[in-house]
């Protein structure tokens, strides 16, 4: 018997999948109406609201961590493009930043974004463009050293053209990777969202030169009709010269 993200059974006599329908409104595009209807019927959106997370993306980082185990107690973690903060909320809990369950409060969660963010207990928030020339120096200063994990759920603004959007997000992911090279500790981990589409070959090659293990994973909470996936690069090789990468 199947279960939804809310834990309820999806089969059985007399049960129906009751969906919220959204009527088209004057001045609103059909695509916006469809998006709103999908949001209202998305079980992960409902679960995020019920459990106090800032978005359904929180479940993606949970599923990534369940598989690869990088949100460890004491870890120094940098979340690039962190707004609205769902990934940080998960990282705080899983890294035991607040000293839950009798543990000692250790580690650091650093949220970096161009826009302001609402505070998150256990997380340091900095409004910063990670592409600035001295951004890596600022981050290492805030951390008090290098990072164990750099993670990114960033996506470039959609143009509506599939190939253009693919190239934009790959470029953004590459920029995040180069930032990670500057701030990661030996053996560190880099996680970033990409889109399947053919242009990620160079990114994969670059990561395989700088990390001991590189995997690609589509979390169950990613929508089935989405081409997004996440690259998880582990075992950073800090001593590889950039010219050879």
> Catalytic positions, please?
193
How many whole angstroms separate alpha carbon 60 and alpha carbon 58? 5
How many whole angstroms separate alpha carbon 6 and alpha carbon 46? 8
Residue 136 is assigned to a ligand binding site: no
How many whole angstroms separate alpha carbon 109 and alpha carbon 92? 7
**32, β-bridge pairs:** none
Q: What residues contact 59, with CB distance under 8 A and at least 6 apart?
A: 5, 44, 47, 48, 53, 219, 221
Residue 113 is assigned to a ligand binding site: yes
How many whole angstroms separate alpha carbon 108 and alpha carbon 129? 19
Place of tokens 């695509």: 31
Residue 48, both tokens: 């995020």
**3, β-bridge pairs:** 9
C-beta of residue 74 within 8 angstroms of C-beta of residue 106: yes
Strands 147-152 and 123-127, by their bridges, are unpaired
How many whole angstroms separate alpha carbon 242 and alpha carbon 181? 9
Residue 129 is assigned to a ligand binding site: yes
Residue 87 is assigned to a ligand binding site: yes
Which residues contribute to the annotated binding site for S-adenosyl-L-methionine? 85, 87, 113, 129, 153
Residues annotated in the binding site, as ranges? Answer: 85, 87, 113, 129, 153
């Amino acid at each position: 018997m199947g279960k939804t993200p809310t834990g309820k059974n999806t089969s059985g006599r007399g049960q129906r999948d009751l969906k919220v329908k959204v009527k088209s409104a004057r001045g609103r595009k059909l695509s916006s109406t469809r998006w709103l209807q999908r949001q209202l019927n998305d079980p992960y959106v409902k679960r995020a609201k019920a459990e106090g997370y800032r978005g359904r993306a929180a479940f993606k980082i949970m599923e990534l961590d369940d598989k690869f185990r990088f949100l460890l107690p004491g870890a120094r973690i940098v979340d690039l493009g962190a707004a609205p903060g769902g990934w940080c909320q998960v990282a705080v809990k899983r890294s035991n930043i607040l000293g839950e369950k009798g543990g000692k409060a250790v580690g650091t969660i650093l949220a970096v974004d161009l826009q302001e963010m609402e505070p998150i207990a256990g997380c340091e928030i900095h409004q910063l463009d990670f592409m600035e020339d001295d951004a890596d120096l600022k981050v290492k200063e805030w951390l008090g050293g290098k990072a164990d994990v750099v993670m990114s759920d960033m996506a470039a603004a959609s143009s509506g053209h599939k190939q253009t959007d693919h190239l934009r997000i790959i470029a953004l992911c590459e920029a995040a990777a180069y930032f990670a090279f500057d701030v990661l500790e030996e053996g560190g981990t880099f996680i970033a969202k990409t889109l399947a589409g053919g242009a990620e070959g160079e990114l994969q090659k670059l990561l395989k030169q700088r990390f001991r293990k590189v995997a690609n994973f589509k979390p169950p909470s990613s929508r089935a009709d989405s081409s997004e996936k996440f690259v998880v690069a582990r075992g950073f090789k800090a001593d590889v010269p950039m010219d050879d990468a």
